[in-house]
Structure 1
Amino acid sequence: MADFKQDRPCHAAPRHGGNLLAVQARFGGGDADWLDCSTGISPYSYPLPAMPESVAQRLPQISAEFWAVLKGYYGSAQCLPVAGSQAAIVALPQLRAPCRVGVLRLSYAEHAWRWQQAGHTVILLARNEIDAALDTLDVLILVNPNNPDGQRWTAQQLLAMHAKLAARGAWLIVDEAFIDVDAAESVCQAASQNNRSGLIVLRGIGKFFGLAGLRLGFVFADKKILAALAEYIGPWAVSGPALWAGQLALADEAWQQMQRSRLLQEAQSLKAHLIAQGLTPCGDHPLMQFCVVDQIDQWGYALAANGIYARVFNTQDVGVNALRFGALTLQQHAEFAQRLARAAAQVQST
């Protein structure tokens, strides 16, 4: 367990995947020369039709039909739409006075960074340290499934942790950005219940629906927290085109089932390619394969030299050297296997 205050950053500004232009500037090539598996965004996007002109002309309005679609998909409509869950990650630290915030050491780095930047004391925890730390925390933040390693908590485990925290007025924030492939353990609906004060759940349509550029997410929580968050963020936080697209995607059950099936199936193919080159995932999810490696620098350069853009984790704050591979289309798998084999040969020759 490690404590970090504002004058002792727990992270530098987080690095993210998806920055292909910067990678191209360093290693060369154009879009056609790279296989970008640096994010957890589905390579298959929900197919949007032509947008009515009026959607962009008017100020954003949330209709009764939109709320009904939300309730149908998430099981609750007691939420605040935001410009991607990232907007909530930035705003939530502003709603509490300086306090003690527990975050998993290996997780989505924006959580720790934003709370630390807002003046809170951030405690980085290993998974096996969480239970012992609960009585010392004012906020606990968990990503479920966890990014980048795909590790999971059951709803029963999360609600038990929330009960301990809520007894002292503490919060449990659960980031469910990657849960849509299998949402059986979601606590999204529970966050709207009157007896679950202080349970805050973040959802979004970026990862599973492949619509990250729209910037549409939702915060599920008790009404008091939602009101405070809405006041802080201000009006028209979500664009009309994002609301229009989100309503279509969330209502389309047939497409959602097809998306789940192909992501699950194709993840097995990608996993097999990794195992064939000695990269056995120690944690996996249909949108990300997480592989701990010894020769992290050699792997990072070899992958880039062969036009594979993966996430490289090699900094002290995460406590592990690893590669994360996001999903690729099935049509890209053969090319990925060939490039990965060349990269593995280069690593073995060093």
Structure 2
Amino acid sequence: MTTPRDHGGGLDAAVARHGGTREAWVDLSTGINPVPYPLPDLPNDAWTALPDRGAQEALIAAARDFWDVPAGAAVLAAPGASALIARLPGLMAAGRVHVPGPTYNEHAAAFAAHGWEVIETDGPAAQARVIVHPNNPTGLWHDAASLDAGLMVVDESFADIAPDRSLIGHAARRGVIVLKSFGKFWGLAGLRLGFAIGDPELIARLETLLGPWPVSGPALRIGRAALCDRVWADQTRARLTEDAARLDRLVTGAGAELVGGCALFRLYDVGDAAGWQERLAGHHIWSRVFPYSDTWLRLGLPGPDQWTQLEAAL
């Protein structure tokens, strides 16, 4: 049996331990936008028919336009970025992969499962590199100088908060794959929609690994509607920036120090992370701690009707 890896979420376990109903809890353990994209009406055949090529092509066209994908790069839609992460290490023979840490742990786990040697410190012998851009949980942004490995994975699951900082302009380079997620900025984690954008040869191999109909009919249509709605995206970026600043004022006012994060999540040094998590859980607020740090606490953004509960807890 595979040991579960450390992630945000796990609200059911928190409820079982601390009581209350799931509906009464505020889950700040993830970096998911708490105000999701409003779902459009869907035709019945989105649910009853196999996903058709026309809907897939419309989604890909919308993705190309929204992210300003270079003409030489290929775009593949998938059932979530996680499905892509699990398959990326199989695109070339196993060797050494540089995964600078601390970072999102699924990348290292996926490469290790395919027989790769995972290193955190860069070295000339690394055949592949993964950068999370911006990094989770530190919020560190990278630059194009990092794109120098044979297989270069750029995880931009959180990058839609600042499209001007995206590395998508380099996606047509040989060996580069940029990942996009619909679960964070659009707040639709349950939709299970993600994208791989990059080297056409590698994208073609990924497409073969995923098989036919990788994306559901509803996800094809919802994804296209969201990617075509630039007004919503612009308004959301402004709101996320304001809410992140509001969260910083609250948490630093309670004695924490801001040490990182981005507009979808904030990273604080609280001295005693486990103690803070327990105290917040007593008020039915779930937070994120890390096995490699006793002092770091990460908080996502509260929804519009959840701020009062957080203020009372702090």
Do both share a fold (TM > 0.5)? Answer: yes
* Contact 2:60/2:77, CA 8 A, preserved across alignment: no
Partner residue, 1:152: 141
- Structure 1 Cα separation of the partners of residues 42 and 221 of structure 2: 8
Task: State which of 240, 252, 277 in structure 2 corresponds to 1:300.
Answer: 277
Partner residue, 2:102: 106
Partner residue, 2:305: 331
- Structure 2 Cα separation of the partners of residues 31 and 326 of structure 1: 17
Partner residue, 1:229: 206
Partner residue, 1:262: 239
User: Percent same amino acid at aligned positions?
Assistant: 36
Partner residue, 1:286: 263
Residue 27 of structure 1, CA deviation: 1.7
- Structure 1 Cα separation of the partners of residues 10 and 189 of structure 2: 13
* Secondary structure, counterpart of 1:257 in structure 2: helix
- Structure 2 Cα separation of the partners of residues 321 and 137 of structure 1: 31
- Structure 1 Cα separation of the partners of residues 47 and 196 of structure 2: 24
1:220-256 CA distance string (max 9 Å, x none): 1111101111111211111111111000000011111
What's the RMSD between the two structures over aligned residues?
A: 1.7
| Alpha carbons of structure 1 residues 99 and 13: separation in structure 2 relative to 1, 3 Å | farther
Partner residue, 1:200: 177
Partner residue, 1:186: 166
* Secondary structure, counterpart of 1:225 in structure 2: helix
* Contact 2:255/2:270, CA 8 A, preserved across alignment: no
Q: 1:1-350 maps to which residues of 2 (within 5 A)?
A: 13-63=4-54, 64-76=57-69, 78-125=74-121, 130=122, 133=123, 135-153=124-142, 157=143, 159-162=144-147, 164-165=148-149, 170-191=150-171, 193=172, 196-313=173-290, 315=291, 318=292, 321-340=295-314
- Structure 2 Cα separation of the partners of residues 230 and 43 of structure 1: 31
- Structure 1 Cα separation of the partners of residues 249 and 311 of structure 2: 9
- Structure 2 Cα separation of the partners of residues 321 and 95 of structure 1: 37
* Contact 1:105/1:319, CA 8 A, preserved across alignment: no
1:188-208 CA distance string (max 9 Å, x none): 2321x2xx1011100021100
Q: Residue type matched to 2:50 in 1?
A: L
* Contact 2:257/2:270, CA 8 A, preserved across alignment: no
- Structure 1 Cα separation of the partners of residues 132 and 145 of structure 2: 16
| Alpha carbons of structure 1 residues 262 and 62: separation in structure 2 relative to 1, 3 Å | farther
Q: Residue type matched to 2:152 in 1?
A: L
| Alpha carbons of structure 1 residues 319 and 311: separation in structure 2 relative to 1, 3 Å | closer
- Structure 2 Cα separation of the partners of residues 15 and 44 of structure 1: 25
Residue 12 of structure 1, CA deviation: 6.0
Gaps of 5+ in 2: none
| Alpha carbons of structure 1 residues 319 and 300: separation in structure 2 relative to 1, 3 Å | closer
* Contact 1:59/1:236, CA 8 A, preserved across alignment: yes
TM-score normalised by the chain length of structure 2: 0.93
- Structure 1 Cα separation of the partners of residues 3 and 49 of structure 2: 40
* Contact 2:265/2:301, CA 8 A, preserved across alignment: yes
When structure 1 is superposed on structure 2, of 277-286 and 213-222 the one drifting more is: 277-286
- Structure 2 Cα separation of the partners of residues 68 and 178 of structure 1: 21
- Structure 2 Cα separation of the partners of residues 161 and 247 of structure 1: 31
Q: Runs of at least 4 residues of structure 1 off by over 3 A?
A: 318-321
1:101-148 CA distance string (max 9 Å, x none): 1112210011111111221100123xxxx4xx2x22111101001111
TM-score normalised by the chain length of structure 1: 0.84
Structure with greater helix percent: 1
Query: How many residues end up aligned between the 2 structures?
Result: 308
- Structure 1 Cα separation of the partners of residues 176 and 61 of structure 2: 22
- Structure 1 Cα separation of the partners of residues 82 and 27 of structure 2: 22
* Secondary structure, counterpart of 1:331 in structure 2: coil
